[in-house]
Amino acid sequence: MSQRVGVASIQGDFAKHVESLRSCGLTDNEISLVRTPEELTSVDRLIIPGGESTTVGMLMQRFGLAEAIQERAKAGMPIWGTCMGMILMARDIEDRDQFTLVLLDITARRNAFGAQVHSFEQEITMDGIADPFEAVFIRAPEALNLGVGVTTLATCRDKIVAVQQGATLGTSFHPELTSITAVHQYFLAL
């Protein structure tokens, strides 16, 4: 059965996620850029890419996309947030009072590995993926205070960098910035 994958395209590296989905074998007819609640209705699952969480959160609220995403998540739609996407999906953000979608029962700590100049690549292993892979961390968050039903899928430098709660996935790294499609394949199988 064919599925249609949406990539939230308000800001951030959404084009790289589209390239990764193509590398997984999806056609352009199976990939949609999502900016509005109407566009969200045409997809079966959604990726929220990296970017700037305060700006994206405000724009999602302004255009009604935030509420539409929350409703689709309640209905069981698989949703994956990378880096900023994971922050935006958290229950709350450490030391910040900003909007979140509250899709993952975690606290997100922004810039857990340091500022932009501290960006790095490191090989990690992730539950559900057979082989270790290179992960790209750019001002990456970590997941703290995991609630009931949240599973740790990967850690890096003693920090939780991938979590799953039902059909909701959060990664603090950027799989779309590598040639590895294993994490995208994992999400497509949820």
83 catalytic? Reply is: yes
> Alpha-carbon dihedral of residues 84, 161, 159, 123, nearest 10 degrees?
-120
Which candidate in 17, 83, 142, 156 is catalytic? 83
- How many CA atoms lie within 13 Å of 150's alpha carbon, on the beta-carbon side? 23
Contact 124, 150 (CB under 8 A): no
156 catalytic? Reply is: no
Which candidate in 17, 142, 176, 184 is catalytic? 176
- DSSP letter for 9, please: -
Contacts of 31 (CB under 8 A, 6+ apart): 4, 5, 6, 7, 18, 21, 22
Of 25, 16, 45, 181, which Cα lies nearest the Cα of 103?
45
Which candidate in 142, 156, 174, 184 is catalytic? 174
Neighbours of 64 (CB within 10 A): 13
184 catalytic? Reply is: no
* CA of residue 57 relative to chain centroid, distance: 14
Q: Which residues are catalytic?
A: 83, 174, 176
